[in-house]
Structure 1
């Protein structure tokens, strides 16, 4: 354990260096001493397991779920969730619980109290029960706080401790400076408020109720470091840094992905490395992939999201062409056992457009947009240099792929084919709760609130979920069981290790084809997925895939494919998935 007197010299230097960049040499040491006090306060409380470095493996799979996605009358939702999780604990080992803390809007991301669990969900004791079977992934909403919070109320009243906790102007800044700010919203950056301390123009990057914190005030940093370590104390193994690219503001700049925002992540990483190196940071930054990987290359976060994947995969299925996605996958060559990517197709927000902007052409994005709208989806927009551009597609993954003119069984196969691709590529797969059952758009949810993201945020009763799981005639049951079947086989294979090698093959434009190799290079799997509703005939040369033996073994159904004259003849039925081990 750490000594009480002081932190190790090397760790101390790293933290002070970060603080010098953010606050200047004159202030850095005094700020460090306050942070050191917070670290020592939590040091005693943290268990030894927090000191074990986190290494990723093929067994890592994430479920993204709202704390109240499943509800039962007179029962804390976390307890209801825990009962459901028993069904998947042999297949999924990490749970990202969204909307944990008391909030006023944005379904959990306008937090009133960072340390108070929403009473409808339960208490920290319920969370710790889930932790017995799963690693916990918790949102650190560090950019903003609810206007209903005590912090903002005290600021509004002129409370001394909360002075300059938020970014507020007596007079509205010049429009030119405001227009420089990058935002994934079309609403105004500043909101005018009549407060007890006077009339103010208040900075809110996202919605009217989410007031941005002012990290140029070190007291804000102290409060939020305390919140971060509070989450670790209560069992968080993974910390998702929500909207982390926006944390440092300076008018006249984009206020996005600034050098300061990167140093801020380094600071959090260095603090955690002193007290809980077994906790991994996830940088949630919805930008193009080249920009995003900087968080890994600079040793800031241990994980980032593969935001281009979902739009690229939609384009692949819509155009029946795998070329773009295979070329993209060949660029992912920087992962390891301690630094990696999270592969998502759907989540509580939307399908990222921004992530794929440097891969897909504008007209290709427009084609996806047209399909999404035809399938009942909605579009969220951003303002960039005065232009209104698509930011994300709001649609469930099932509805995005479903062809209503085709039979349900074929749509299920198509859906599972997309999941097989997600599960087989390099990285850690994350499945959204609604995607686990292949749920369609909830248009009534959207109509009720007018918020486009709510199309993919439906709640279910416990009895509804039980029917999904128990009735083999239901679509939800078939999807659920097929996903678990894929995970059952995937999680046993070293070739699907997130740090294993990955090589794209260009066999047929309608066939997704890659070779995965285990980190020790002893095991290989040829992944073949037909992304069309046609039969595809392939001739795969034995030497092209580096197969020393004259047979391939499909781990999904135990079928053996024999080579003839150094060539494998393979027929792929519509949307068929083959994981061929050799």
Structure 2
């Protein structure tokens, strides 16, 4: 038997945990072949930051902007090149594969581009101008996929790809994000079987206790890497491994799978990045960073509900309390900050951070502003709010106490200014950069609340609105574009730069960042209320020997007796040095 390479030995360590009943040396060889690795590749440098303050992500569907007689991916590419070149470095393309439901997250074929969106050549062209993140919809696939058709016929590939359970199994502890029945009956001439469906009966969960499924996905990852995709979003990965009698979420084997994927992907492409999508309570979410050996980045799921609640109540107490508990991201890991996405405002990540009363108040205010609410079934059988479905523009329409007001634009920009200044990589949803409103007509058409924030723009209409600076769409893009360009020049806004939270009262949210080489310090100070606020400059404890200047407004503060006066939702980025 040939001697093992270091990489093969490390792969086998993971496989022995996952597949103790299998010949792990054989499975290891299959893994290497599936992802396109031969022999022992050079070991990637650990704890390396593959991002900096210039990195801005955009989350978008392939077909969110359309033009007649043009592939939507080509239309999107042209739009991004025209309006976002220099602003956005990373494009997260939400699932662009053939699908049967859930706007792409019920994948029928992982190896093809949806013909209605374009082709692989369009993805490769996009990857020539931007880093591209692709969705690895790894927990489940479509009930109309070839794999599931083969499962029903008991043929390969697919005959043993899906997780089965008996109806009388102990499933009382299973954590669910939906209210639909967990098991789906499949009947054929040989009898009936029950497959596991965490999300819907059109999304059947895959069985990763079968190494064939792992190798199948490694082949898919290789394809994506070959097509220029270098960032991988592991969709719904917290539910990946199931053991009846347990919660079937965040199980040790799930973390082991992620560690194995990280090892293989970074050896195949050292610049590749893994990001986990785990819409779960904060402490559980943090676990997916591992010891810098699982996800490179995690979605900062608690940020949207806490920041939106802050701006609606004019009180940053809950937001500050949460941030004070967040560990600094170690080198080689980072937070992926977002405040809007293709999904709703998740409420599970607010559990333990907002009181039940605060959550109910937030839900009520969002309904007042035109939002909807999706529910999940709790362990006690009770239906609980799972996410709020609303466009961010409408979510910022007013306050919890007073309702809609004249500060919608200022509140909206302030929210994004907070995200841009916080530790982590900022990510903008396509519809937030242009402040798209609630799409109630699409909800009525699809019957799904999430469609409210998944508007499909006609390219000419959108171009017209962005050229009319009297409209809020153009105003928002101009204002946020200026902030992005400003951020990109500041080393103190590096995603891993030091961050300390300041205590200036409930109506002022403030923190300071310091660049890794400690050359630049920025005090980010936000009035998160609808009332003017005054702050004595002495409370910021600025170094008296330096001149401090607001990067946003340009005002210098040399006289330490001069107070800072902030209008409703006004903010300053006070720095001792302006980046180039």
The reply to whether residue 493 of structure 1 matches residue 493 of structure 2 is no
Cα deviation for residue 269 of structure 1 reads 0.7
The reply to whether residue 514 of structure 1 matches residue 520 of structure 2 is no
Q: Which residue of 1 aligns with 2:363?
A: 369
Cα deviation for residue 276 of structure 1 reads 1.4
Q: Which residue of 2 aligns with 1:558?
A: 554
Cα deviation for residue 257 of structure 1 reads 0.5
The reply to whether residue 442 of structure 1 matches residue 439 of structure 2 is yes
Does structure 2 retain, via aligned residues, the 8 Å contact 1:283–1:301?
A: yes
**Alignment partners' CA distance in 2, 1:220 and 1:465:** 42
The reply to whether residue 118 of structure 1 matches residue 114 of structure 2 is yes
Q: Which residue of 1 aligns with 2:63?
A: 68
Cα deviation for residue 39 of structure 1 reads 3.4
The reply to whether residue 382 of structure 1 matches residue 376 of structure 2 is yes
Cα deviation for residue 196 of structure 1 reads 5.2
Does structure 2 retain, via aligned residues, the 8 Å contact 1:529–1:576?
A: yes
Q: Which residue of 1 aligns with 2:203?
A: 210
The reply to whether residue 341 of structure 1 matches residue 338 of structure 2 is no
Cα deviation for residue 337 of structure 1 reads 4.3
Does structure 2 retain, via aligned residues, the 8 Å contact 1:51–1:278?
A: no
2:480 to 455, 478, 483: 483
**Alignment partners' CA distance in 2, 1:432 and 1:311:** 15
**Alignment partners' CA distance in 2, 1:425 and 1:392:** 23
Give 1:564-575 correspondences, 5 Å limit: 564=560, 567-575=561-569
Cα deviation for residue 217 of structure 1 reads 1.5
Q: Which residue of 2 aligns with 1:353?
A: 347
- TM-aligned CA distance change 1:376 to 1:409, over 3 Å: closer
RMSD of the TM alignment (CA)?
Answer: 2.5
**Alignment partners' CA distance in 2, 1:19 and 1:323:** 45
Q: Write out per-residue CA displacement over residues 188-243 of structure 1, whole angstroms, 9 at most, x where no aligned residue.
A: 00112333553222211111111111111211111111111211111112100001
The reply to whether residue 141 of structure 1 matches residue 122 of structure 2 is no
Q: Which residue of 2 aligns with 1:577?
A: 571
Q: Write out per-residue CA displacement over residues 256-289 of structure 1, whole angstroms, 9 at most, x where no aligned residue.
A: 1000111010110111132112111001111122
Cα deviation for residue 358 of structure 1 reads 2.0
The reply to whether residue 271 of structure 1 matches residue 264 of structure 2 is yes
Q: Write out per-residue CA displacement over residues 496-544 of structure 1, whole angstroms, 9 at most, x where no aligned residue.
A: 11111111111132111111111111101111111122211110217x4
Cα deviation for residue 558 of structure 1 reads 1.6
1:24 to 14, 20, 23: 20
Q: Which residue of 1 aligns with 2:313?
A: 319
Q: Write out per-residue CA displacement over residues 418-472 of structure 1, whole angstroms, 9 at most, x where no aligned residue.
A: 1111111100111101111112211111111211111111100111220122111
The reply to whether residue 531 of structure 1 matches residue 528 of structure 2 is yes
The reply to whether residue 282 of structure 1 matches residue 280 of structure 2 is no
Q: Which residue of 1 aligns with 2:184?
A: 191
**Alignment partners' CA distance in 2, 1:346 and 1:197:** 47
Give 1:29-68 correspondences, 5 Å limit: 29-40=25-36, 55-68=50-63
Cα deviation for residue 25 of structure 1 reads 6.0
**Alignment partners' CA distance in 2, 1:133 and 1:519:** 28
- TM-aligned CA distance change 1:230 to 1:477, over 3 Å: same
**Alignment partners' CA distance in 2, 1:517 and 1:529:** 18
**Alignment partners' CA distance in 1, 2:575 and 2:156:** 65
Q: Secondary structure at the match of 2:312?
A: helix
Does structure 1 retain, via aligned residues, the 8 Å contact 2:49–2:333?
A: no
Does structure 1 retain, via aligned residues, the 8 Å contact 2:34–2:216?
A: no
- TM-aligned CA distance change 1:505 to 1:28, over 3 Å: same
Q: Secondary structure at the match of 1:162?
A: coil
**Alignment partners' CA distance in 2, 1:262 and 1:40:** 23
**Alignment partners' CA distance in 1, 2:521 and 2:204:** 50
Q: Which residue of 2 aligns with 1:236?
A: 229
**Alignment partners' CA distance in 2, 1:295 and 1:29:** 27
Does structure 1 retain, via aligned residues, the 8 Å contact 2:235–2:277?
A: yes
- TM-aligned CA distance change 1:407 to 1:37, over 3 Å: closer
Does structure 2 retain, via aligned residues, the 8 Å contact 1:56–1:338?
A: no
Q: Write out per-residue CA displacement over residues 152-180 of structure 1, whole angstroms, 9 at most, x where no aligned residue.
A: 111111214432211235x5234xx1222
The reply to whether residue 395 of structure 1 matches residue 390 of structure 2 is yes
The reply to whether residue 545 of structure 1 matches residue 541 of structure 2 is yes
Does structure 2 retain, via aligned residues, the 8 Å contact 1:158–1:196?
A: no
Q: Which residue of 2 aligns with 1:77?
A: 72
**Alignment partners' CA distance in 2, 1:292 and 1:8:** 35
Q: Secondary structure at the match of 2:23?
A: helix
The reply to whether residue 432 of structure 1 matches residue 429 of structure 2 is yes
Q: Secondary structure at the match of 1:178?
A: coil
1:465 to 437, 462, 465: 462
Cα deviation for residue 50 of structure 1 reads 13
Query: Is 190-199 or 218-227 further displaced after alignment?
Result: 190-199
Cα deviation for residue 322 of structure 1 reads 1.2
1:222 to 215, 223, 237: 215
Q: Which residue of 2 aligns with 1:107?
A: 103
- TM-aligned CA distance change 1:468 to 1:525, over 3 Å: same
- TM-aligned CA distance change 1:462 to 1:6, over 3 Å: farther
Cα deviation for residue 54 of structure 1 reads 5.5
**Alignment partners' CA distance in 1, 2:193 and 2:21:** 32
Query: Is 302-311 or 157-166 further displaced after alignment?
Result: 157-166
Query: Is 197-206 or 249-258 further displaced after alignment?
Result: 197-206
